Amino acid sequence: MLLLGLLAVSWLPGCEVGSSNDTLTGANGNYSGSYVGAENGLLVAGNSGAAVSSLTLSQSGNQLQAVDNNGILFKGTLGDILPSSGSSSNASATFTLNGATTAGATVSINGKLKGSGATATMTGFWLEPDRNCSIYGVAGITPINVGVSVTPVQKTLSVNGNTQIFTASGGTASYTWTLLNSNGTLDVTTGATVTYTRTVTGDNSLTVTDSAGKSATAIINQP
């Protein structure tokens, strides 16, 4: 709770009357949930009209709709989900929403949604014609899954017999591994890790595919 409070303070300094902020863009993902303000129960600090304490977000494809605690509807888009720290359940995306306040002022919300397991945070800016406010809220979500990844994504093996371990993460287990050509071999073709061995000169690539059909590829340079 202490950490949440410190984060909230850093994102909710209040409003700047008459200022503006660059619009962020978006395109793909899913962060549906009810985002509740974490600073004194407020999602937005200092907006015109009735106070905004929560925003219930629903998403289909890259299209967003949200309804605040005052019954005001917002519409917008979500950006590409980008994994962080090598984990498919920790990911972030930019978003935009457009709506109004109960006082009739137009509103543009530009910010970022960040998922960590089953929790997401909403941060950014609430922009009205005469003010720029910070937003900060937290919601429970279905953990984000942005697909399978492989590490390392590129490796150089210079001598026949050199080996490299590759590891798959994210996506939907189980994993299947395939090689582009016969310039190397694998110790196994299924599982979270495989060991690749260079056999002859000539570049190769290694692809891992999860049970949902999503894939990632590592490049193997073999001069």
**Owning domain of residue 98:** 2-140
What is d(CA 87, CA 64) in angstroms, rounded to the nearest whole number?
A: 24
Q: Which residue has tokens 């994994």? A: 83
Pair 35, 93 in one domain: yes
Q: CA 93, CA 64: separation in Å to the nearest integer?
A: 13
Where among 140, 172, 206 does a domain terminate? 140
Residues 113 and 166 in one domain: no
Same-domain pairing of 120 and 165: no
Phi-psi map region of 145: left, alpha, beta (phi>0 left; psi -120 to 50 alpha): beta
Tell me the residue type at 95.
Answer: F
Task: Please tell me whether residues 133 and 153 are part of one structural domain.
Answer: no
Same-domain check for residues 10 and 65: yes
| Cα–Cα dist 133/147, whole Å | 34
User: In terms of domains, do 160 and 123 share one?
Assistant: no
Determine if the peptide bond prior to 152 is cis (ω within 30°): yes
Same domain, 154 and 133: no
Residue 195's Cβ-side half-sphere holds a number of Cα atoms within 13 Å equal to 5
Domain stops at, among 84, 118, 140: 140
Residue 171 region, left (φ>0) first, then alpha (ψ -120 to 50), else beta? left
Are 75 and 107 members of one domain? yes
Are the CB atoms for 204 and 194 separated by under 8 Å? no
Query: Per the structure, how many domains does the chain have?
Result: 2
CA distance 78 to 31: 9
pTM of the model: 0.61
pLDDT in tens, the chain (223 residues): 333 333 333 444 456 554 333 222 333 357 999 999 987 889 998 999 999 999 999 998 889 999 999 999 999 999 877 766 444 457 888 999 999 999 999 999 999 999 887 899 999 999 999 999 999 999 998 877 667 888 999 999 999 999 999 999 877 779 999 999 999 999 999 999 999 999 999 999 999 998 878 888 999 999 9
Are residue 132 and residue 154 in the same domain, yes or no?
no
For the chain, the residue count is 223
Domain containing residue 169: CATH number? 2.60.40.10
| The domain boundary residue, chosen from 140, 173, 206 | 140
